[in-house]
Amino acid sequence: MTSKRIDATESHWLALPALVLIAAFIALPCVGLLLLSLSTGFRPGDGWDALLSGPLGLDHYRRMLGDDFVLGRLGRTLAISAAVTLLTLAMGVPLALACWQTRGPIRNLLVYASVMPLLISIVVSAYGWSVLLGRKGLINETLLSMGLITQPLKLMHSDLGIVIGLTHILLPFMVLSVLAALERIPRALLEAASTLGASRWQTHRLITLPLARAGLRSGVLLVFTLAMCAFVTPAVLGGNGTPVFPMVIYEQFSASFQWAYGAALSILLLVVMMLIVAGFLSVSSPKRAA
């Protein structure tokens, strides 16, 4: 029985359904959002004919780039996303290594504990953390009873509360990404390193982590982009006092009814994320020999 090799033309046809879905549900909405952000006369309730035939300009982008509040919210969102990414990386890599090195029921327990946040609704998780982080929540009451603090800490409606909630929710994406890369590493390499006298730390630093670079890169990108776009957790744990950038966009559409300006903010967030992802990939990708 002979196998038929698929040529380049046939492989392109196989990719056609995926390309159609991407164009219909990602590319076209982004084009519509871009047109809306350039419209200077569109109002909520107008039809698409008014959007396509109306005047276009960069007025909303000039207003946006001159708005200190908007730029401040963008900077705060970037800082929170970076902090969440670093925390999930610091916690996720050891947890993924533990899952990879153990066997039997302990491994199953660790993997189940790692993916537990994915099994719970984001809304439920956010409100659960609000119970723990409140002024009279479990954390403050415990610290007060132990005499470690004299007054409740402000954990709710703060950047710290947002970071804690997002780290809990996004940690599984880091663990699973790193664990998938670790599973591809031959264990014979670790045995060889141990035979040659390398310590466990040296083995992980010089062999395991470099070989799992693809998983680390995927985990960082997943966590950072999801943290940048997070809305529910910052809305519950941060409140209106510390709005992140997606909350600012939401307010333009739902409260201020300035759809064109909200679309411009959405395009700004998309462009910033694309630039950061492209820069990270160019820096973290392995250099190929000429």
15 phi, psi to nearest 5 deg: -85, -5
> What does the DSSP assignment read for 56-109?
B-SHHHHHHHT-HHHHHHHHHHHHHHHHHHHHHHHHHHHHHHHHHH--THHHHH
Confidence category of residue 95, pLDDT binned at 50, 70, 90? very high
Confidence category of residue 77, pLDDT binned at 50, 70, 90? very high
Whole-angstrom Cα Rg for the chain? 24
- State the average pLDDT for the chain: 86
Give per-residue pLDDT as tens, 172-218. 999 999 999 999 888 788 778 878 787 878 888 888 888 899 999 99
Q: How far apart are CA 242 and CA 120, in angstroms?
A: 25
In the predicted model, what is the mean pLDDT of residues 140-161?
A: 88
Does the model's pTM come out above 0.85?
yes
User: For the chain, which residues make up each domain, given as ranges?
Assistant: 68-282
Q: What angle do CA 128, 132, 133 make, to 5 degrees?
A: 110
More confident residue, 243 or 2: 243
Nearest to 129, CA basis, from 21, 235, 16: 235
Torsion angle, CA of 172/178/183/184, rounded to 10 degrees?
140
- Which CATH code is given to the segment(s) 68-282? 1.10.3720.10
Query: Tokens 């990108």 belong to which residue?
Result: 221
Q: How far apart are CA 86 and CA 215, in angstroms?
A: 15
pLDDT value at 224 more than 70: yes
